[in-house]
């Protein structure tokens, strides 16, 4: 049994079967629907209904990080089971999730429950790229690496991990207030197809005019990453399953291996990305052995 347990959050959008197989504990963020309703992201199962509300609503729901208590509830049984913990989370430039995780670790340390054995890692990214980092941590733990070594493997992988994602519009980022360095594109550019990345915050890559060109640029990027030896990959989409499958098919030919996972973006990130998002994340496959 591995001496290190791995925790991440729902914005990785790891399929349930992948998280279970890799023994990854997932802590949920929240979606806030006005003043009277707050749902854990993990409890929202009807994505089509949520996306329809997102498209048609005058305002978008807001999102919130897990509470300190949520993290205490995740860490406490792992620590009681004599596990050390590596906890990898959505970028602190986008969410206070990692901060809440650190507060939980400090609380457990004060209570004498082993909180000093929790290492919280700011992924400086989100979604599929965060999912890959969680997998790197889980695979390193499964190889029997200790706490320091697992943490180092994750940070080393992050230095070589890249993600591009293409949006149907910048409108949802603008409405959600998380547009970051892409703010210069607001205005007439809402009519183009933006391609962005996350390096602590949203950062612009380029703008293209059509969905077809957007798709081909993601394929081009997959080829670039393969040429660099980054053959561990994942594809995610938001309410665009056909486009997602097309990208998976093209990437499978390029990387000559199956994706680590494929999934749909859930409500928290969809609030900011909007329906039609298509993304690709890659990391050198030596980190996923």
Give the list of residues 6+ apart from residue 137 with CB closer than 8 angstroms, or none: 4, 6, 24, 86, 88, 121, 150, 153, 154
Whether the pLDDT of residue 59 is over 90: the answer is no
Interval 76-84 mean pLDDT = 98
Interval 210-217 mean pLDDT = 94
Give the list of residues 6+ apart from residue 44 with CB closer than 8 angstroms, or none: 31, 50, 266, 267
* Tokens standing for residue 237: 């989409």
Domain range list for the chain? 4-49+61-158, 162-288
CATH for 4-49+61-158 is 3.40.50.10170
Interval 215-241 mean pLDDT = 97
pLDDT of residue 30: 96
Could you say which architecture CATH assigns to the domain 162-288? 2-Layer Sandwich (3.30)
* Tokens standing for residue 171: 């409108």
Q: How far apart are alpha carbons 131 and 123 in whole angstroms? A: 10
Q: How far apart are alpha carbons 87 and 6 in whole angstroms? A: 6
Confidence of residue 188 (pLDDT cuts 50, 70, 90): very low
Interval 95-110 mean pLDDT = 98
Whether the pLDDT of residue 225 is over 70: the answer is yes
Interval 216-232 mean pLDDT = 97
């Amino acid at each position: 049994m591995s001496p290190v347990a791995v925790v991440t959050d729902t914005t990785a959008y790891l399929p349930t079967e992948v998280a279970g197989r890799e023994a990854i504990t997932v802590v949920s963020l929240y979606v806030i629907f006005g003043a009277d309703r707050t749902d854990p992201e993990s409890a929202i199962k009807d994505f089509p209904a949520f996306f329809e509300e997102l498209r048609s609503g005058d305002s978008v729901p807001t999102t919130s990080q897990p509470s300190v208590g949520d993290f205490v509830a995740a860490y406490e049984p792992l620590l009681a089971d004599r596990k050390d913990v590596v906890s990898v989370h959505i970028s602190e430039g986008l969410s206070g999730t990692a901060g809440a995780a650190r507060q939980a670790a400090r609380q457990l340390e004060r209570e004498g429950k082993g909180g000093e054995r929790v290492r919280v890692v700011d992924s400086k990214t989100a979604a599929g790229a965060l999912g890959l980092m969680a997998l790197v941590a889980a695979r390193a733990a499964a190889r029997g690496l200790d706490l320091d070594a697992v943490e180092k493997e994750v940070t080393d992988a992050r230095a070589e991990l890249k993600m591009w994602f293409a949006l149907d519009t910048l409108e949802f980022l603008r409405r959600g207030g998380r547009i970051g360095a892409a703010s210069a594109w607001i205005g007439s550019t809402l009519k183009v197809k933006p391609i962005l990345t996350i390096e602590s915050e949203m950062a612009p890559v380029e703008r293209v005019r059509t969905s077809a060109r957007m798709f081909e640029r993601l394929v081009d990027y997959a080829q670039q990453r393969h040429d660099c030896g980054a053959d561990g990959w994942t594809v995610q989409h938001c309410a665009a399953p056909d486009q997602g499958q097309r990208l998976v098919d093209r990437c499978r030919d390029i990387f000559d291996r199956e994706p680590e996972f494929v999934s749909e973006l859930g409500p928290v990130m969809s609030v900011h990305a909007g329906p039609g998002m298509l993304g690709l994340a890659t990391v050198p496959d030596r980190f996923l052995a």
